[in-house]
């Protein structure tokens, strides 16, 4: 696959390359500032975080992370002095604010919920999407075009329009505030995207590969597993990232349908603000940690993602 030859007839000049490069760097800088600000805030103390003018240089502190992972109770200085020596960095940090650690916060369980629900629904959406895309791509499905349009149409209505019916249905079915309910919901939303994206990828894989495998003694499922799937990895990776990003970031339904055991991180993070003043460093710490999985996943799959995004545009 040659990227350069397919892109343009005329090779870009040094000047246009430099202009394009400058624009890209500028845009990247503008985009990254809020992220850097959140990252910096997560290492500030609460007074530093609301200081005016804002502090660019500051003494880094783990207070935000300590507050994120713990619940604390206020005590009298006498009580704190009577305690033994501090058991760790966090213990020491909170004692300076006349508080003691009472126990772990809900952040970890919420974060784990997010992981289970996002990865679970991504897996389901990609699994179902791959199989249906293969079906649409290879078999004469009656009314295939109408079915594909129907699948796409499930994304057309704004989610908020169906929020109340879903809320009522979930309450009746006992799916409110359950990980299963959230996985089903996100799978349903993502599967349409997965079918459409993957059908494009699978259409591009010549059917001769499976036919060759089937003649060579494999069943269709074996042929699919051994010849189609390995060649569709690019598309599957790209689709998985899109699905994961949606499920990971989804806020509205999570806020509506989860409140306790199955609550995900997005609706949980804003609740930190309320606990004992506006604790911006803790919120920033939560946000920073929340960004990590997507970052790691994207970095791991960046090759496939890049190839996946340019797939239709560049012919082999």
Partner 1 sequence: MAEIRVEHLRKAFGDFIAVQDSNFVVGDGEFFVMLGPSGCGKTTTLRMIAGLELPTGGKILLGGEDVTMRRARERDIAFVFQLFALYPHMNVRKNIGFPLLAQGMPGIEIRRRVEETAKLLRIDHLLNKSVSGLAGGDRQRVALGRAIVRRPKCFLMDEPLGTLDTEFRDLMIHELRELHNRIHATTVYVTHDQMEAMSMADKIAVMNHGVIEQFGTPREIYDRPATMFVADFIGSPPMNFLGFGGGLSKGASEIVVQGAKVAVPEVREDIAPADMALGIRPEHIRFDDGSKLRGAIYGTEYLGTTQIVAVETSGGIIKARVPAEIRLNPGDQVGLALSSTRLSLFEKGSGRAVRTAIHDTVIHHGASQGRAHRG
Judged by CB under 8 A, which of 219, 259, 261, 298 binds partner 1?
219
Judged by CB under 8 A, which of 167, 218, 256, 310 binds partner 1?
218
Judged by CB under 8 A, which of 222, 259, 261, 298 binds partner 1?
222
Which lies closer to partner 1 via its Cβ, residue 3 or residue 36? 3
143 lines the binding site for partner 1 (CB under 8 A) = no
Which lies closer to partner 1 via its Cβ, residue 69 or residue 134? 134
Judged by CB under 8 A, which of 231, 271, 278, 310 binds partner 1?
231
- Count of residues in contact with partner 1, rule CB under 8 A: 16
* CA atoms of 5 and 86, how far apart (whole Å): 65
Pick from 134, 58, 68: nearest CA to 101: 68
3 lines the binding site for partner 1 (CB under 8 A) = no
Q: Which residues pair with residue 104 across a beta bridge?
A: 70
Q: Residue for token digits 């960004």?
A: 291
172 lines the binding site for partner 1 (CB under 8 A) = no
Cβ–Cβ < 8 Å for 247, 29: no
Provide, rounded to whole angstroms, the least separation between the CB of residue 6 and partner 1. Answer: 17
Judged by CB under 8 A, which of 45, 227, 263, 288 binds partner 1?
227
Residues 281-310 contacting partner 1, CB under 8 A = none
Which lies closer to partner 1 via its Cβ, residue 213 or residue 243? 213
**Token representation of residue 202:** 């699978």
Judged by CB under 8 A, which of 212, 273, 296, 300 binds partner 1?
212
Judged by CB under 8 A, which of 12, 206, 270, 312 binds partner 1?
206
Q: Which residues bind partner 1 (CB under 8 A)?
A: 206, 208-209, 211-219, 222, 227, 230-231
């Amino acid at each position: 696959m040659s990227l350069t030859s397919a892109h343009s007839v005329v090779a870009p000049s040094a000047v246009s390359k430099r202009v394009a490069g400058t624009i890209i760097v500028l845009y990247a800088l503008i985009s990254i500032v809020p992220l850097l600000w959140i990252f910096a805030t997560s290492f500030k103390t609460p007074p530093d975080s609301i200081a005016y003018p804002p502090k660019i240089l500051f003494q880094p502190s783990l207070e935000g992370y300590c507050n994120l992972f713990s619940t604390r109770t206020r005590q009298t200085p006498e009580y704190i002095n009577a305690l033994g020596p501090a058991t760790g960095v966090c213990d020491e940090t909170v004692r300076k604010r006349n508080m003691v650690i009472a126990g772990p916060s809900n952040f970890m369980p919420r974060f784990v919920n997010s992981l289970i629900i996002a990865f679970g629904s991504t897996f389901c959406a990609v699994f179902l999407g791959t199989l249906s895309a293969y079906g649409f791509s290879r078999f004469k499905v009656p009314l295939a075009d109408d079915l594909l349009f129907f699948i796409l149409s499930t994304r057309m209505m704004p989610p908020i329009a169906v929020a109340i019916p879903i809320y009522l249905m979930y309450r009746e079915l006992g799916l409110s505030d359950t990980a299963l309910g959230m996985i089903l919901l996100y799978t349903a939303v993502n599967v349409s995207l997965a079918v459409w994206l993957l059908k494009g990828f699978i259409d591009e894989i010549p059917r001769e590969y499976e036919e060759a495998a089937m003649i060579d003694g494999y069943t269709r499922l074996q042929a699919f597993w051994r010849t189609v799937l390995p060649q569709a990895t690019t598309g599957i990776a790209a689709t998985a990232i899109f699905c994961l990003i949606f499920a990971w970031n989804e806020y509205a339904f999570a806020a509506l349908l989860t409140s306790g055991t199955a609550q995900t991180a997005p609706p949980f993070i804003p609740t930190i603000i309320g606990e004992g003043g506006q604790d911006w460093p803790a919120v920033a710490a939560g946000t920073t940690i929340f960004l990590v999985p997507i970052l790691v996943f994207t970095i791991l799959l960046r090759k496939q993602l890049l190839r996946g995004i340019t797939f239709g545009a560049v012919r082999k």
